[in-house]
Amino acid sequence: MALQLGDTAPDFSLPATTGETLSQDQIRGARATVIMFWCNHCPYVIPNQQLVIDLQARFRQQGVRFAAICSNNAESHPADSFENMKIRAEEMNYNFPYLRDEDQSVARAYGAERTPHIFLLDAAMKLAYRGRINDNPKDPAAVQSHDLQDAIAAVLAGERPDPAETGAMGCSIKWK
């Protein structure tokens, strides 16, 4: 069953592109945690990479941590293999962990459907926001609704994001 608003996020431990295995507690932010289901090949992820890097840089000092998880089937989509994830993380200089969900169990536990699919957790690791990064993932210059940024600001202010859910916009997760 998919994670619902107010639910505590399921724990996980996944290999990172840095060579370590990280648990949810190790990537947890003091005030909020952003879990992004992500991949290398998606034309909705690619134009938002720098935006997410910038958001992590902006909010890190306020106790927010980001992490990206690739759950895609690498056999059908080799661009999303663990080796290619390592290359992408290094090329883009990701300032957040990039994790591999080989058996897709974490994507299923969260109810992730797309890349990108965003799950914002509050300090207690309860789901506060689920959905998209913004209203125009293919053209960051044309964004009018900064959904993730606004949701983070609400959580940091001790408020509930409004809206708390938006439809994730992106490619479907490539299931095995």
Q: What pLDDT sits at residue 141? A: 85
Q: Please, where are the H alpha helices in 11-65? A: 24-27, 49-60
Q: Are 22 and 107 in contact (CB under 8 A)?
A: no
Residues 6+ apart with CB under 8 A from 151: 120, 128, 129, 161, 164
Output the pTM of the full model: 0.97
Domain edges within the chain? 13-172
Q: How far is CA 121 from the centre of its chain?
A: 11
pLDDT of residue 99: 98
- pLDDT < 50 positions in the chain: none
d(Cα 139, Cα 15) in Å, to the nearest integer? 31
> CATH fold of 13-172, please?
Glutaredoxin (3.40.30)
What's the DSSP call for residue 170?
S
pLDDT, position 1 = 66
Is residue 55 within 8 A of residue 148, CB to CB? The reply is yes
